[in-house]
Amino acid sequence: MGTNAIIIKKLEDKYKGISVNFDGYLEHTGLMLSNNYDSEEAVEELLELGNLSGIERNIENCAAYGRDYGEKNQFARIKNRIKDFGSAPYIYLWKDETWFVSIRSSEFVEL
């Protein structure tokens, strides 16, 4: 069974997010985000893929349910609050050009 995660970007007054179903832990998804998706443009490009099976170093290698498997309704969602995305062991938040993480519903800390 995979370790899922949620990746969220803070918009002006809302949040935009996707889910990742496998390898959501810090040593993989956290590392991929902080090392490879460290600009507004890169984060937006990642979110535009929609929900992911897994995240990799570059967009081309990420396994996206919509793009790669033809699944419908896998696009990023816009929500009013972070908790509206549901729960996951790891929640990654891009805000003020910095990644933050919440592990098992803890407070967000800088990644």
pLDDT tens digits for 8-46?
Answer: 999 999 999 999 999 999 999 999 999 999 999 999 999
pLDDT tens digits for 54-96?
Answer: 999 999 999 999 999 999 999 999 999 999 999 999 999 999 9
Calculate the dihedral angle through the C-alpha atoms of 111, 98, 75, 105, rounding to the nearest 10 degrees: 40
- Domain hosting 70: range is 5-110
Half-sphere exposure of 11 (CA within 13 A, CB side): 14
How many domains are contained in the chain? Answer: 1
The single residue listed with the structure tokens 């995979």 is 2
Give dist(CA 103, CA 56) in Å, integer: 20
In the beta sheet, which residues pair with residue 55? none
Q: Is the pTM of this model over 0.85?
A: yes
